[in-house]
Structure 1
Amino acid sequence: MIMRTWRGAVRAEDADRYLEHQGDTGVREYRETTGNLGVLVLRRTTGDLVEVTTVSLWESMDAVKAFAGEDPEVAKFYPGDDDLLAEKDLHADHFEVVGVDLDLAALSR
């Protein structure tokens, strides 16, 4: 399993709007791509900005490439992103998942 991460930040007043936009674009495309196993969207306030990190899980690097293209280290952006993002990483990171220990019942609460 592969974990893909990406980070950006928005002004606090744009956070809810960006998260809705991200759900309608990137997160939707993740979930519609064969081989995607799920997506987590994380947010935290850091000073005047809200940092947003997306963590997606994939069956394989081939599945990641089906979403991201042949150079999966390059972050993927959508129309409207630049209107909302105050900061954005131009790359995405990938990790081989070597262990998982989750309480799935607790996650659904």
Structure 2
Amino acid sequence: MTKVPTIARIWRGRTKPELADEYEAYNSAEGIPPLLRTALDVQLLREDREDETWFTTISYWADMVSMTAFTKGDPRQVHHLERDAELLCELPERIQIHKIVVPPRLR
């Protein structure tokens, strides 16, 4: 039986445009794989603006228990990657946790 996500955990951070490709590659190599091994699904989004680039990581979870097991504590706590301070404009201070009201369609 396929699990349906009930919770989305959302992280957002921004970088300078000249560092955006480097951060995308770094986050894809270091930040996303642990999520892919544990979450039901993961999305990495990128928004290029004139003077900054925003990244949004959304991970989908069956329940708070599984998300808490992954984060080994409070899932609202931000866990920064080793090079985040170097590559991001500032270290994000919060994570958003959303209850999924309309789940994705299973195909």
TM-score normalised by L of structure 1: 0.83
Match of 1:32 among 20, 34, 37: 37
Please name the residue that 1:76 is paired with.
79
Q: 1:60 aligns with which of 60, 63, 67?
A: 63
Alpha-carbon offset, residue 69 of structure 1: 2.4
Instruction: Name the CA distance, whole Å, in 1 between partners of 2:15 and 2:89.
Output: 5
Are the aligned partners of 2:84 and 2:91 in contact in 1 as well (CA < 8 Å)?
A: no
Q: Which amino acid aligns with 1:55?
A: I
**Residue aligning to 1:13:** 18
Q: CA RMSD in A?
A: 1.7
Per-residue deviation, 1:102? 4.8
In 2 relative to 1, CA 31–103 (structure 1 residues): closer, same or farther, beyond 3 Å? closer
TM-score, normalised with respect to structure 2: 0.85
Q: Which runs of 5+ in 1 are unaligned?
A: 105-109
Shift of 1:45: 2.3
SS at match of 2:73: coil
Correspondence for 1:49 among 37, 48, 52: 52
Amino acid of the structure 2 residue aligned with 1:31: L
Q: Are the aligned partners of 1:43 and 1:51 in contact in 2 as well (CA < 8 Å)?
A: yes
Does the CA contact (< 8 Å) of 1:7 and 1:88 recur in 2? Answer: no
Unaligned runs of 5+ in 2: 1-5
Q: Which residue of 1 aligns with 2:93?
A: 90
